[in-house]
Structure 1
């Protein structure tokens, strides 16, 4: 069996557990080649397959991909239709591979805006992978973090009104249990491709202590080498979570002696 961390010279103890990616630049990639925008989205799907498989191989616990935002419904109708067609194709094509690779699949976002046949494809794949124990693959569709937070607030209000919890019992753990990402490890690493320097309403609660990486490469050109390069950079960052460097060093020494 191939040891992928050894192959890529990665320390498995320093890997991010949960990576979120805004896969930006498909349209610009196509425009640079005088191709229709949908051609960029098709090429982008190839990168999804590559990076998803690589993430599982090196031991990433959770991968969340921003595929289609709530705001993207405003795009031209033919582009939206093309993206939805690619989504259908991807789920059908990858269904068996995702199941066989022990991946746990979920879609986050307001799926009520999706067509019924797409919802059925999603639900079937979620059901077929719910008992898998490998990497969590979450695809953000019709997703916006503001909407996710509002949905969580409404769930908590319902719990209070139903008498299941008291107002004073609400804490960060309660709130996180009502988010679309409930059950996933904290977001450690955020990547955005294409040279844009904003988070675009993606995982706003979860980003609180994530390490942020912005790369100029357009998503269709974001290959395994680039992905691994950023993961290596992540492993070199000192994550203090409000503590000092000295405190972090002491914790590392104490852990080694434990």
Structure 2
């Protein structure tokens, strides 16, 4: 919960921190679409290098940022290992032959390609949320993409309450311990205590959500006609430059791979 309690891990005054949230979402979408059906390793490698440069430009606090990426890195490593051992691309020189497991240069290249592609697709989304204030993101979505204010600001409120639920869970467990409710070494009692704690937390969350919904309804978060925004998120020239630069990186990486003769469609 400590990571969620600190949603921004980038410097708000850095280049990416000053961009409109919609621009950053559009750039991440361009990268995802461009790499979705790319099966080579060169294109995502070039895009990933540009993304790492963008992370540096965002003024990211790397320790917190890497804490957010550990699960992605773990899943990518597992997928790379399964691709390395079980892919049908077994051409090239053999690198490892251990019974049913055969690793060749082609299978190693396939594992590398899928690892780079996943990281290059996922990293922009992580950077967007690491460099964007959730309130500014909600305001930009309502202003520029015309998303329903009731849903958008409701999701924002739910996100803001995630750290609160973590604090309530710790308070609930400490209160039970103070009253002498301890499962001891019994696994069954631990499961029962955990289930009852989840139920109590769910009741608290529902009550808090009802009060919050009533408060937001009374303050006009319903999307009625004529409602204005307290925090407008304008699109500036820098947003257009950044979006065009993203398109240029995606097109340039694909063209470079085509020039080398390494680009391939994912399902070929």
Settle same-fold status: TM greater than 0.5: no
Q: In terms of Rg, which structure is larger? A: 2
- What TM-score results when the alignment is normalised by the length of structure 2? 0.24
- What TM-score results when the alignment is normalised by the length of structure 1? 0.25
Structure having the higher helix fraction is 2
Structure having the higher strand fraction is 1
Q: Which has the higher contact order (CA 8 A, sep 6+)?
A: 2
